[in-house]
Amino acid sequence: MRTLSIAGTGMLAQQTNVDVISNNIANMNTTAYKRQRAEFQDLLYQQVSRPGGATGPDSRVPTGIQIGAGVKTGGVYRIATQGALTQTDNRYDVAIQGRGYFAITLPSGETAYTRDGSFQLSDQGELVNADGFPVQPGITVPAEAIDVTISKSGEVQVILAGQPEPQNVGQLQLATFINEAGLEAQGGNLFLETAASGQATIANPGEPGFGTLQQGFVEASNVNPVAEITALITAQRAYEMNSRVVKTADEMLATTSQLR
């Protein structure tokens, strides 16, 4: 009886849907988090009677009989819409307004990418992320600096004690990808380049196709709690309906087994 397996695929699909939605809700306060959405595809069909099959010398089957086998998860993609900018007044917090990712050097030597600009200084004065991984290209703030400014174009300047003129200590850059959804999430607000994402294109903020920077701000999550709760209720109802199909199929099988 196909009904049991079809409904089973529907329940599994809605479990995945609820997993994705629950992860969105859990990260609604995660800096620069981008919400995800599950997409589904129908499975192969049993061709009982193919459309267009000949039934006579001059006649063909207009629609045929195709019986579906259920549903599968086609993919879970990331929606990279801009999150709201939240003011923090921390001089090392930097938000990206528009396209782009900061490049981070991992302990393994690999380059990861993030939109989380919650930066701090290491004990050596190096600009690092919350895990202590340095930002590319390396920027070091002198210990005697009394103020730091980061322009919209990524230029980092410091004012040193006794020197009224600001000194340039580095230039922040951004990376963009042809297919941002193809980046591989690593946790910790970090992503890795993949064959699906394409190679990173590096440029200064503000150049064509690249966003600008806002010092003293961070980007909030783009999760809409109301939309996620609505989607959660819809997924729950779909799961219940599929479970009802399983129950109906079981009752039909029970009826069949009682025939004499």
Domain limits, the chain:
2-80+223-257, 85-219
pTM: 0.84
Instruction: Give which of 4, 7, 23, 176 is closest to 101, Cα–Cα.
Output: 176
Per-residue pLDDT tens over the stretch 164-176: 788 888 999 999 9
Q: Measure CA 43 to chain center.
A: 25
Peptide bond into 166 cis (omega under 30): no
Per-residue pLDDT tens over the stretch 47-91: 777 777 776 777 777 777 878 889 999 999 899 899 999 999 888
